A and B are shown apart, each in its own frame.
Chain A
Amino acid sequence: MTISIRQVEKTYIVGEERVRALRGVDLEIKKNEFVAIMGPSGSGKSTLMNIIGCLDQPTTGSYVLNSRRVDSLDASALAKVRNQEIGFVFQSFELLSRATALKNVALPLMYAPGKWFGASKRAAEALRRVGLADRMDHRPNQLSGGQKQRVAIARALVNSPSILLADEPTGALDSKTSEEIIGLFKELHAQGQTIVVVTHEEDVAANAERIVRLRDGKIYSDFPRRLDPIHGEYLRAMMRQAMELNEPVASDPQTQQEGGA
């Protein structure tokens, strides 16, 4: 079991008000799963992602990551866990503009004791994995959006994390580039990487093996894709049936939207 979250609650105090961002979440993610966490803004998905990524700690409840309790560690210990277990991919890439792609990818190794000496080699290897072997000496401003995100993914992979944790990884990319990045995730997943993607885009979630849906700080749906209320084949089949019964009906709500826009 890679991730085991039990009865996690998170309450923020904003001024006088107490905001209950998570209200009792149970979640287990196994090794080599590809999970999408979905939900509208305010659903608590960012909070959940921060807790999974050890950037934040639950108010109550337990979090076991790779058979180690990580729900009540100090800042230094959390940093160590992030360094060794989590590879972050952010919506806006978060690359250091002064540094080359190679230096950016090597950044987590800077904080990994003893890994500095082989850092360049490991970083080059990670860049090769994301298909940027020929862009190592480029700075972020010489790279396209998709290339930047690939550099960020290489950086997330460089320290061989147990989880690749992506927060809206295609949020700043056009649809074609998004597809390429999702393709890369699928490839990495096929190679055995555990991936958690937090997103509000159904297109992205549709590629995951399993879709977790949050609303008001609670998980209301957690199924493999084929059982998911939106992407699941069961529902599709039901919808198709319904469409056939009530002709004529607009084919697919999303296609219609795009045509109208």
Chain B
Amino acid sequence: MRLLITIPQVLVQTLFLALGQLWANRVRALLTTLGIVIGVASTIAIVGGTQGLKAFVLKEFESFGASRFVIFPRNPRETPNRYSPQQIQLKLREARLLERTCPSIARLTPVKSFVAQVQFGDRVEQNVRITGMDEDWHLIEGRTIIAGRPFSRIDEEEQRAVCIVNDKAVEELLLDKEPSSQSILVGGRKFMVVGVVETKTLPTIFGGGEPLSEVYIPFSAANAMKPEPIFGLFIQGTMVSPDAFDDLEAEVRSALRRSRELKPDDPDTFLVRATEQAISSINRVSVGLTIAATCIVTISLIVGGVGIMNIMLASVSERTREIGLRKAVGAPPIVILTQFLVEAVVLCLSGALIGLLVGYGLIAGLRAIPDGPMAGASVPGWAVALSVGFSAFTGIAFGMFPAIKAARLDPIEALRHE
């Protein structure tokens, strides 16, 4: 009961005492807490910088469709001869199944892609990429229709012989800029050009190359030209949000594995990827950097903690007589312990505070670079809480030994100490 009243009383007073002492020895305190300052500052800078980098790259991909995904068939490397190509290939039925069962999928289109000869008048182009997809593709890819019209439900349902070409194909085949009932031969079949779509290549840093001629036809038409089971398809779609990939992958795996009757030990015979999987790899990089930041903060807090312990031991030694006096006038051991712990924690927290200021300064500097990739750098609250929390913990952990030493001092010996 007595301690219940005494400890808060002592806490408040030692807080002021500790702050006063810190101010009196500010150079020493600053040097002591340097480890903690560096640890907290670098954590804040790394986490903030990572957030900025992530925001930058995500924004780059956003223009390309940040929440896009693809599902491919995959022959498991572990058992190359176990499945036939027909077993592995994705089927229209599976695409419809996923559309129905996966809540993380916003929309999808089956895609049948092959290479064929394309002819218009005397212009012949070999090996043109022909893509069959349904009208949702427009929403998934988000490409601008430069001229004419996009595909409609009717094109798909009635398996109409219409096509959309890209601007490159218009150029190569010498088509009219505005679609005007001209027809081209795709693999020997006649398709009327109804629209022209812009060409979009990946940014060169992500492997994009020279634009090529592209021809798009309704999925049903493509399916008629290249039917299952000889020709499989792949699935392209959008997720409900850019970071829903983990959920999506789980849902797709569960649905497809069940539909393909794979046993628990069997490897997947399909592959789910987000937009070139860049987003998830960026997320991985960002997690990696966060872990690195955590390691840095841990190491520097340990180093800083040893510094704190050292200075607290020196403080206990310097103030032995004071401890003796305090004990003589009635301070019980637990109160002395509290006093020294409060001092250690205050020391650590003031280091953390300086570290936060330095970290925020670094982030402000990164943001100030004109047109730099770090314009979106920001420090999340959890990073601040984490580094401050760790610092306080360091104070308690490394202040404990000196504090116990102080608490155990014999008052008679302490008062005799020179």
Taking Cβ atoms with an 8 Å cutoff, the residues of A that contact B are 50, 53, 55-56, 75-76, 79-80, 82-84, 88, 90, 94, 96, 98, 107-108, 110-114, 116, 155, 159
A96→B6 contact, CB < 8 A: no
B331 within 8 A of A: yes
**Which B residues are CB-close (under 8 A) to A56?**
412
- A90→B327 CA distance, assembly (Å): 14
Query: Distance in Å from the Cβ of B66 to the closest Cβ of chain A?
Result: 60
Interface flags, B314-345, vs A, CB<8A=1, else 0:
00000001101111111111110000000000
B154 within 8 A of A: no
Known contacts A80-B2, A94-B415; is A111 also within 8 Å of B325 by CB? no
B20→A98 contact, CB < 8 A: yes
Query: Distance in Å from the Cβ of A15 to the closest Cβ of chain B?
Result: 16
B24 within 8 A of A: yes
B10 within 8 A of A: yes
Query: Distance in Å from the Cβ of A122 to the closest Cβ of chain B?
Result: 14
A79→B415 contact, CB < 8 A: no
**Which B residues are CB-close (under 8 A) to A84?**
330
Across the two chains, which residue of chain A brings its CB closest to B1? A113
- A12→B313 CA distance, assembly (Å): 28
- A159→B328 CA distance, assembly (Å): 13
Interface flags, B157-201, vs A, CB<8A=1, else 0:
000000000000000000000000000000000000000000000
- A94→B3 CA distance, assembly (Å): 25
Known contacts A56-B412, A76-B333, A76-B334; is A111 also within 8 Å of B322 by CB? no
A107→B415 contact, CB < 8 A: no
Known contacts A50-B412, A116-B9; is A111 also within 8 Å of B335 by CB? yes
Q: Chain B contact residues (Cβ within 8 angstroms of A): what range?
A: 20 to 34
- A98→B319 CA distance, assembly (Å): 12
Across the two chains, which residue of chain B brings its CB closest to A87? B329
Known contacts A80-B2, A113-B2; is A94 also within 8 Å of B10 by CB? no
B330→A79 contact, CB < 8 A: yes
A83→B329 contact, CB < 8 A: yes
Residue in contact with B6 in the complex, picked from A75, A90, A111, A155, CB distance below 8 Å:
A111
**Which A residues are CB-close (under 8 A) to B333?**
75-76, 79
**Which A residues are CB-close (under 8 A) to B325?**
90, 94, 96, 107
- A21→B91 CA distance, assembly (Å): 99
**Which A residues are CB-close (under 8 A) to B331?**
79, 83, 110-111
B328→A53 contact, CB < 8 A: yes
For the residues of B in contact with A, the DSSP-based class is: helix
Query: Distance in Å from the Cβ of B265 to the closest Cβ of chain A?
Result: 63
**Which B residues are CB-close (under 8 A) to A110?**
9-10, 13, 331
Residue in contact with A113 in the complex, picked from B6, B21, B326, CB distance below 8 Å:
B6
B411→A112 contact, CB < 8 A: no
Query: Distance in Å from the Cβ of B37 to the closest Cβ of chain A?
Result: 25
For the A-B complex with A96-B322, A108-B329, A110-B10 known, give 20 more contacts whose Cβ atoms are closer than 8 Å.
A50-B412, A53-B328, A56-B412, A75-B332, A75-B333, A79-B330, A79-B332, A80-B330, A82-B329, A90-B415, A94-B321, A94-B328, A94-B415, A98-B24, A107-B325, A110-B331, A111-B6, A113-B6, A114-B5, A155-B329
**Which A residues are CB-close (under 8 A) to B13?**
110, 116
Across the two chains, which residue of chain A brings its CB closest to B407? A75
Interface flags, B1-19, vs A, CB<8A=1, else 0:
1110110011001000000
Known contacts A90-B415, A96-B322; is A112 also within 8 Å of B328 by CB? no
- A94→B324 CA distance, assembly (Å): 9
**Which A residues are CB-close (under 8 A) to B329?**
82-83, 88, 107-108, 111, 155
- A55→B21 CA distance, assembly (Å): 28
**Which B residues are CB-close (under 8 A) to A88?**
328-329
- A96→B17 CA distance, assembly (Å): 12
- A155→B335 CA distance, assembly (Å): 19
B330→A82 contact, CB < 8 A: yes
- A98→B327 CA distance, assembly (Å): 18
Query: Distance in Å from the Cβ of A229 to the closest Cβ of chain B?
Result: 30
Across the two chains, which residue of chain A brings its CB closest to B331? A111
**Which B residues are CB-close (under 8 A) to A155?**
329
- A186→B325 CA distance, assembly (Å): 25
**Which A residues are CB-close (under 8 A) to B321?**
94
Query: Distance in Å from the Cβ of A168 to the closest Cβ of chain B?
Result: 12
- A75→B321 CA distance, assembly (Å): 18
**Which A residues are CB-close (under 8 A) to B412?**
50, 55-56
**Which A residues are CB-close (under 8 A) to B21?**
98
Instruction: Enumerate 26 A-B pairs (CB-CB under 8 Å) in ascending A order.
Output: A50-B412, A53-B328, A55-B412, A76-B334, A79-B332, A79-B333, A80-B330, A82-B327, A83-B331, A90-B415, A94-B321, A94-B324, A96-B322, A96-B325, A98-B21, A108-B329, A110-B9, A111-B6, A111-B329, A111-B330, A111-B331, A111-B332, A113-B1, A113-B2, A114-B5, A159-B330
